[in-house]
Amino acid sequence: MFRSIHPFDQSVVAEFELMSARDVENKLARAARAFASWKRTSFAHRSELMLKAAALLRQNKDEYARVITLEMGKILPEALAEIEKSAGACEYFALQAEPLLADQSIVTESRKSFVAYQPTGAILAIMPWNFPFWQAIRFAAPALMAGNVGVLKHAPNVTQCSLLLESVFQQAGFPEECFNR
């Protein structure tokens, strides 16, 4: 069991069960299975879902900012700005991932050479507490748009933020194991 502690008054915000090693292994196995199909989704479909995630962030920004403030002590205007910045990143990668990841011809001694970007699998992100939405989004948005899946290991004191992020991606329509914590 671990606790999320309010940084101002030291009150217990929430308590959470620790995952067992078996729970972690199961989560990673589910992420690997999700990758097998997610890597074949089109940029158009990924983009549609990422734009929905951006809309959800903006739609619920007051709630998300309140949780940031509660868990890590950021003042409300800064927490609102963090949510806005996160939504903007989702939009940017939704619209720019395909051209950024397009095959690129390069000049070599060979007759034809190119660089191809391909998804690599489940990406584990271990994130700090100080920008609980932004740090996670700046990893998740490009990773998901590239066809990877994401597993977030967030700082324990911002566990509610990680739960909200997981919910954003699920509500946007991403397959359940594409982004999880």
Q: Average pLDDT in the 27-52 region?
A: 96
Q: Average pLDDT in the 40-49 region?
A: 97
Check residue 28 and give its pLDDT.
92
pLDDT beyond 90 at 8:
no
- pLDDT more than 70, % of the chain: 100
pLDDT beyond 90 at 6:
no
Q: Average pLDDT in the 23-42 region?
A: 94
Answer yes or no: pTM beyond 0.85: yes
Please choose, from the candidates 158, 163, 161, 166, the residue with its C-alpha nearest in 3D space to the C-alpha of residue 3.
158
Contact 53, 168 (CB under 8 A): yes
Q: Average pLDDT in the 59-87 region?
A: 97
Alpha helical stretches, state H, the chain: 21-38, 43-59, 61-72, 76-100, 134-145, 159-172
Check residue 176 and give its pLDDT.
87
pLDDT beyond 90 at 89:
yes
What are 109-138's pLDDT values in tens digits?
A: 999 998 999 999 999 999 999 999 999 999
Q: Average pLDDT in the 49-73 region?
A: 97
Strand-pair category, 113-115 with 104-106:
antiparallel
Q: Average pLDDT in the 14-32 region?
A: 91
Q: Kindly report the CATH class assigned to 2-101+119-180.
A: alpha beta
Check residue 5 and give its pLDDT.
82
Type of residue found at 4: S
pLDDT beyond 90 at 139:
yes
CA 101, CA 119: separation in Å to the nearest integer? 10
* Greater model confidence, 3 or 152: 152
